[in-house]
Amino acid sequence: MRWADAETGRVSHLSRQIRLNLWVYAALTVMGLIRVHFAWPENRQWAMIPLGLALLLLVGGHLLDWESLSRKRWMTKAVIASYSSALVAQLLFCLPDPDPELMFPVGAVMITVAAATTIGSRVALVLGVSSVVAYLVLLLAQPSLDLPYSTSIAAAVAGVAGLCVLAANNRRHHLAQRRAAERRTVALMENGSDAVLAVGDDQVRYASISTGRILGHDAESLSIADLAEMTHPDDVERVTEFLNQLRAAGPGATDRIESRSRAAGGAWLDVEVTATNHLDDPDIQAIILSVRDVSTQNALRAELTRQAFEDPVTGLPNRALLLDRIVTAVRRHARTSGRVSLLLIDLDDFKKINDTRGHMAGDEFLRVVAQRMASAVRPSDTLARLGGDEFAVFVEELDDIGLHTLAERLLAEIKTPVRLGTSDLIGTASIGIATLKSDQSADLDAAHELMRDADLAMYAAKAGGRDRIAVFDPSMYTAAVKEAEGRTDLERGLANNEFVVNYQPIVDLPSGKLVGVEALARWQHPERGLVAPDAFIAQAERTGLIVALGAHILRVACFEVAGWQRDIPGAENVRVSINLSARQFQEKDLVDMVRSALTDSGIRPDLVVLEITESLLMQDVDATVITLHELRDLGVRIAIDDFGTGYSSLSYLRRFPIDILKIDKAFIDGITIDSDDATLAEAVVGLGKALRLSTVAEGIEHIDQQSMLSDLGVTYGQGYLFAKPGTADEIAEMVREHYGPEAAQ
């Protein structure tokens, strides 16, 4: 450590004061020579010889290395002894002097002042008291004494000695406070997070103790050459230019730079250097450097950046980095009339791997596929993982043929078997391709449009059968906009209660008597009028809105039919059939939703028939059986709608708690003219009887169909022959006709 070293400061002060003391002693000796020459008698002129020799010794004493001698422990005592000797010599010299009362005080004061400034207050006090005592002894030795004059001089000597003591004491306190402040500053810098250096033009003028801890180099021996060697070779030129600019900027200029510094062990540290120009300050004459190790912060920042722009599973760029590169390229190509393209890749049925093999196996599959796709793209292309099973390849300056060839290579790599454990998995993918031409806008929206178009093309590839490639066409966007508008319209219709329930009667085939109704959803659109379900059910299924729509239809049907049962005498047993969609059946709260509708409406559960399709039964047999039993536990009955169009086997059919089979209209239409349809209908009726199930024939439009189905043993029927679907009020009137007082007559 340099600068405020206490020992160095003490030595420097003592050496300077010793030289000053030599001049004081020399001045007193010259005064003695003058007194001897002019005031002493001739018989005592010989005293000039020893005084002259003493003067020569004092002047020659300045040539000694007092800086080194001052470091000796005995030097302070020697200096104190010199003051005592000088005071005794002054007394002995003045004894024979004609005017001792004048000469002695001058020398005593000079010696006391020198001692006070060199050693301190205690020595000055002792010398001051000794001077007064010696002066009194000198006066008493004189034959004649001018008491007032001598007393005044003695008082002056005592006063000067007192002032010297006070000044020395004040200086001692000041030095103690300054050294305490220096110790506090050193302690702060030693334990601080920064290494502080003062670098002059040719040397390191100061280095805090913390330099060794932070930079790994001894602060005591640090040099300019060490600093240059510590700096990374790639950063030397930049750091040198930084310091030169700081020097040129003038006094007080401050700047900051990051560079790399070699620690004692050879490792490179990232350091942040804050530098301030104090070269013009006479007390500093250096550039003050505050050096902080920022390796940990930079490593953390780099890790956060990596996590922000890198996919954790595959190590590929993620969506954020891909978008950034697309934006940069789009802006560049807008100036160069180029084109950029995006291939969006979605792995087909990847969810099955996670479900059957676990997510660790799924991640391994993704890593292998990512590596293979990386080998299929050009070095200039960007392969990224967008999340889940979606990847993207961003390419520049590739024509349509090249894009299709690249997509084919990617599909081939994905189809290559992946070994997981003891088995091989073969994947397929759907790829959508979109291109942004140079005449399009070059902003962030254009990049998002490119991703959107590729996404639409990818979904078109999936819709086309998967394991294929589709190129974006503007019609895809038009269809997507229409789909979005339709969803918004559906959401608005649900929010405004625009969906109503129509009912189609179900009759007892032999008698034609109404026994129940099937609830059918209708949309009372404010602009399009009454909309049939074919226009909105499929979209409601795709968007998931069918769940809310189905719950609404269920509650309305239960409440309205319950109202007929209460208000129309004899209609207490009229039942209502309500369709459940596949999406509804997947909802965890389906049973709770049905229970709530039954409880709130007050309808008898056994008069509610929930209809599900035959294909829905086979999606997840075990889960379906559990859900159906939970629904049956509520008291409702279960019907299979459109029976005969699916693929359920008899063994599976026996596992389900089913009450009713509904024969699809497709078989009813040709029952009177096609023997195969008649045979199938007869088989369904026979199956129903064997399983003790009721049967309902749908779509009966002719009397001969009713007659033939009745002869086959079909229990119930519905269709235009009996009534078209009608509003709640219209069907309520029909119920009154069948069950009211007039029907009884």
- Pairwise pLDDT comparison (305 vs 89), residue with the higher score: 89
List pLDDT tens digits, range 122-174. Answer: 776 777 777 777 777 777 766 665 656 566 666 666 666 666 666 656 666 66
Is the pLDDT at 411 greater than 90? The verdict is: yes
3-state secondary structure of 501: strand
- Pairwise pLDDT comparison (10 vs 299), residue with the higher score: 299
Q: Residue 719, exposed/middle/buried by CB under 10 A (0-12, 13-18, 19+)?
A: buried
Nearest Cα neighbor of 573 from 628, 520, 517, 611 is: 517
- Total-model pTM: 0.55
Res 195: pLDDT: 81
Helix and strand numbers (H, E) in the chain are 29, 21
Res 652: pLDDT: 61
List pLDDT tens digits, range 390-399. Answer: 999 999 988 9
DSSP 432: E
What is the spatial distance between Cα 30 and Cα 45, in angstroms, rounded to a whole number? 14
Nearest Cα neighbor of 109 from 75, 158, 70 is: 158
Cα 76–chain centre separation: 65
Is the pLDDT at 74 greater than 50? The verdict is: yes
What is the spatial distance between Cα 555 and Cα 635, in angstroms, rounded to a whole number? 16
User: Which residues of 239-332 form beta strands (DSSP E)?
Assistant: 254-262, 268-278, 286-293
Q: What is the mean pLDDT of residues 284-305?
A: 81
- Token pair of 367 as six digits: 């890593």
Stated length of the chain: 745
Is the pLDDT at 70 greater than 70? The verdict is: yes
What is the spatial distance between Cα 72 and Cα 583, in angstroms, rounded to a whole number? 98
Burial pattern 52-80, b for ≥16 Cβ within 10 A else e, equals: eebbeebeebeeeebeeebeeeebbeebb
Res 180: pLDDT: 67
Res 209: pLDDT: 75
What is the spatial distance between Cα 564 and Cα 59, in angstroms, rounded to a whole number? 135
Is the pLDDT at 54 greater than 90? The verdict is: no
What is the spatial distance between Cα 439 and Cα 441, in angstroms, rounded to a whole number? 7
Is the pLDDT at 253 greater than 80? The verdict is: yes
Res 442: pLDDT: 53
Phi, psi (deg, nearest 5) at residue 360:
-65, -40
Q: Please say whether the beta carbons of 696 and 639 come within 8 A.
A: yes
Backbone angle region of 256, left / alpha / beta, with phi > 0 → left and psi within -120 to 50 → alpha: beta
- Pairwise pLDDT comparison (283 vs 722), residue with the higher score: 722
What is the spatial distance between Cα 163 and Cα 516, in angstroms, rounded to a whole number? 124
Q: Please say whether the beta carbons of 588 and 529 come within 8 A.
A: no
What is the spatial distance between Cα 211 and Cα 214, in angstroms, rounded to a whole number? 5
Res 597: pLDDT: 94
Q: Residue 93, exposed/middle/buried by CB under 10 A (0-12, 13-18, 19+)?
A: buried
What is the spatial distance between Cα 35 and Cα 45, in angstroms, rounded to a whole number? 10
Q: Residue 125, exposed/middle/buried by CB under 10 A (0-12, 13-18, 19+)?
A: buried
The helix or strand, by DSSP H or E, that contains position 538, with its residue range, turns out to be helix 537-543
**Angle between helices 6-39 and 48-60 in degrees, nearest 10:** 160
- Token pair of 471 as six digits: 């190129």
Res 535: pLDDT: 86
Backbone angle region of 692, left / alpha / beta, with phi > 0 → left and psi within -120 to 50 → alpha: left
Q: Please say whether the beta carbons of 242 and 274 come within 8 A.
A: no
DSSP 141: T
Average pLDDT value over all residues in the chain: 83
Q: Which residues contact 463 (CB under 8 A, 6 or more apart)?
A: none
Res 146: pLDDT: 60
Res 156: pLDDT: 64
Structure confidence at residue 4 as a pLDDT band (50, 70, 90): very low
What is the spatial distance between Cα 388 and Cα 350, in angstroms, rounded to a whole number? 9
What is the spatial distance between Cα 496 and Cα 493, in angstroms, rounded to a whole number? 5
Q: Residue 268, exposed/middle/buried by CB under 10 A (0-12, 13-18, 19+)?
A: middle
Structure confidence at residue 728 as a pLDDT band (50, 70, 90): very high
Q: What is the mean pLDDT of residues 438-442?
A: 54
- Long-range CB contact pairs, 423-426, < 8 A, 24+: 425/353, 425/365
Geometric angle at alpha carbon 248, from 246 and 253, rounded to 5° = 45
The helix or strand, by DSSP H or E, that contains position 229, with its residue range, turns out to be helix 224-230
Res 58: pLDDT: 80
Phi, psi (deg, nearest 5) at residue 379:
-60, -30
Residue 409 burial (CB count, 10 A): 15
The helix or strand, by DSSP H or E, that contains position 671, with its residue range, turns out to be none
Is the pLDDT at 1 greater than 50? The verdict is: no
- Token pair of 465 as six digits: 């059968």
Nearest Cα neighbor of 21 from 70, 62, 72 is: 62
3-state secondary structure of 371: helix
Q: Please say whether the beta carbons of 16 and 5 come within 8 A.
A: no
Q: Residue 231 carries which side chain, given as an amino acid letter? A: T
Nearest Cα neighbor of 313 from 367, 353, 271 is: 367
What is the spatial distance between Cα 284 and Cα 277, in angstroms, rounded to a whole number? 10
Is the pLDDT at 185 greater than 70? The verdict is: no
Is the pLDDT at 94 greater than 50? The verdict is: yes
User: How much of the chain exceeds pLDDT 90, in percent?
Assistant: 25
Phi, psi (deg, nearest 5) at residue 695:
-125, 145
What is the spatial distance between Cα 158 and Cα 154, in angstroms, rounded to a whole number? 6
List pLDDT tens digits, range 447-484. Answer: 888 899 999 999 999 888 888 999 998 888 888 888 88
Structure confidence at residue 634 as a pLDDT band (50, 70, 90): very high
Nearest Cα neighbor of 229 from 248, 244, 243, 215 is: 215
Residue that is written with structure tokens 């199956």 in the block = 687
List pLDDT tens digits, range 587-618. Answer: 889 999 999 999 999 999 999 999 988 777 66
Res 190: pLDDT: 61
Sheet hosting strand 382-387, strand order edge to edge: 382-387, 390-396, 340-347, 429-436, 469-471
What is the spatial distance between Cα 434 and Cα 470, in angstroms, rounded to a whole number? 9
Res 517: pLDDT: 95
List pLDDT tens digits, range 366-399. Answer: 999 999 999 999 999 999 999 889 999 999 988 9
What is the spatial distance between Cα 242 and Cα 254, in angstroms, rounded to a whole number? 11
Res 574: pLDDT: 93
Highest mean pLDDT among 13-27, 106-120, 194-208, 506-520: 506-520
Res 177: pLDDT: 67
What is the spatial distance between Cα 727 and Cα 557, in angstroms, rounded to a whole number? 11
Alpha-helical segments (H) within 572-620: 582-585, 590-601, 614-617
Nearest Cα neighbor of 718 from 503, 500, 502, 501 is: 503
List pLDDT tens digits, range 418-432. Answer: 888 788 888 899 999
Geometric angle at alpha carbon 221, from 218 and 224, rounded to 5° = 105
What is the spatial distance between Cα 25 and Cα 29, in angstroms, rounded to a whole number? 6
User: Which residues of 390-512 form beta strands (DSSP E)?
Assistant: 390-396, 418-420, 423-425, 429-436, 469-471, 499-508
